[in-house]
């Protein structure tokens, strides 16, 4: 399986790098078109951090591996909260002051409930995909409206996004990086899916479990890098906002693609094991981050608990497959 392992490693590395270049290029394009950094951060950056999951889901669905696509969507959300937020808080405890992030957190819960209702019948069909994709469009419109309305406020995310958006990239360079990043994202997604599916078949495990583990971890690497760097630069609201935005788009865009491209039956394990774990972790994350009586804060102890929950879930998956 050396070729397959090499394909996965190369796919992860190329996916992480191309996602970063795509987001930087698209952000610079928008900035050159006089779009405010807050709108760029809430829309382009949030959607761009889910670009690896979106491309992997699309490729897997077109190749008839819908289980991997579903596993990637749910597994990435679990990884983003348990591992990404947990590790980030262990390095630098996170204090959340942004009103925008506090508004996005309940929306994440609402999107999670909507996706669950669509999956309860045991199928992910084209109507489900249309509903989820329509929700993504509505979320982008809402985020754009919030960005326009809040651009003169004193929300800390404004300064943080202003520091992050590339302002010295020409229109031509930005366009080239956007196009190159998109093409490399597609190529690396195909390499990664081929390697992951091949290993799943060789090991006798399901596409779903490979999506929940190896692929979810790999496609969450950009979020891990972005969150740690944001926390180290004292930009905790961006770190939290990236994860919340990414998780929303994973459920709306990534989960929509299997239904739209190649409708499939939903594995019983998704509803009895994976979705409940994702819901519990998300609710715990909400309680930690929201700050019901003031600014939210995720301490090192809470970060350690999130990481332990992630490790416990991976252990559960292992014994589920062995059994």
Domains of the chain: total: 1
Dmax of the chain from CA atoms?
Answer: 57
pLDDT in tens, 141-191: 988 888 787 766 676 767 667 777 787 888 899 899 889 988 988 888 888
For 256-272, letters b (16+ CB in 10 Å) and e give: bbbbbbbbbebbebbee
What mean pLDDT is predicted for residues 195-201? 82
Tell me: the pLDDT tens digits for 94-153? 888 777 788 888 899 999 999 999 999 999 999 999 999 999 999 989 888 887 877 666
Q: Model confidence over 229-283: pLDDT tens digits?
A: 878 888 777 788 888 888 999 999 999 999 999 999 998 889 999 999 999 999 9
Read off the pTM. 0.88
pLDDT for 294 equals 64
List of residues 6+ apart from 23 with CB closer than 8 A: 44, 45, 48, 49, 51, 181
Residue 125's domain spans which residues?
Answer: 2-322
CATH classification at residue 139: 1.20.1420.30
Helical pair 221-232 and 2-32, crossing angle rounded to 10 deg:
50
pLDDT at 5: 83
- Cα(210)–Cα(218) distance, integer angstroms: 11
Q: Tell me whether residue 181 is exposed, middle or buried, using C-beta atoms within 10 angstroms of its C-beta: 0 to 12, 13 to 18, 19 or more.
A: buried
Percent of the chain residues topping a pLDDT of 90 = 33
């Amino acid at each position: 399986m050396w070729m397959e392992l090499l394909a996965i490693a190369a796919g992860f590395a190329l996916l992480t790098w191309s996602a970063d270049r795509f987001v930087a290029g698209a952000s610079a394009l928008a900035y050159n078109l006089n779009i405010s950094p807050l709108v760029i951060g809430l829309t382009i950056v949030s959607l761009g951090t889910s670009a690896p999951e979106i491309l992997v889901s699309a490729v897997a669905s077109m190749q008839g591996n819908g289980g991997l696509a579903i596993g990637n969507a749910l597994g990435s959300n679990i990884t983003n909260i348990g591992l990404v937020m947990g590790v980030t808080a262990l390095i630098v405890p996170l204090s959340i002051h942004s009103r925008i992030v506090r508004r996005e957190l309940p929306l994440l819960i609402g999107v999670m409930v909507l996706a669950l209702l669509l999956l309860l019948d045991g199928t992910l069909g084209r109507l489900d995909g249309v509903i989820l994709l329509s929700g993504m469009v509505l979320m982008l419109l809402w985020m754009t409206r919030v960005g326009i309305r809040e651009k003169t406020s004193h929300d800390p995310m404004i300064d943080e996004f202003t520091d992050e958006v590339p302002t010295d990239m020409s229109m031509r360079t930005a366009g080239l990086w956007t196009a190159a990043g998109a093409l490399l994202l597609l190529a690396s997604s195909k390499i990664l899916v081929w390697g992951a599916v091949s290993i799943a078949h060789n090991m006798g495990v399901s596409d779903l479990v490979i999506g929940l583990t190896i692929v979810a971890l790999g496609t969450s690497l950009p979020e891990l890098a972005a969150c740690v760097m944001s926390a180290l630069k004292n930009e905790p609201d961006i770190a939290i906002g990236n994860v919340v935005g990414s998780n929303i788009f994973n459920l709306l865009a990534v989960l929509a693609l299997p239904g739209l491209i190649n409708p499939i039956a939903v594995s019983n394990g998704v509803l009895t094991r994976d979705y409940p774990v994702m819901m519990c972790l998300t609710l715990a994350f909400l309680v930690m981050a929201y700050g019901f009586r003031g600014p939210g804060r995720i301490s090192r102890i809470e970060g350690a608990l999130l990481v332990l929950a992630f490790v416990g879930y991976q252990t559960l998956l292992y014994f589920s497959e062995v059994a």
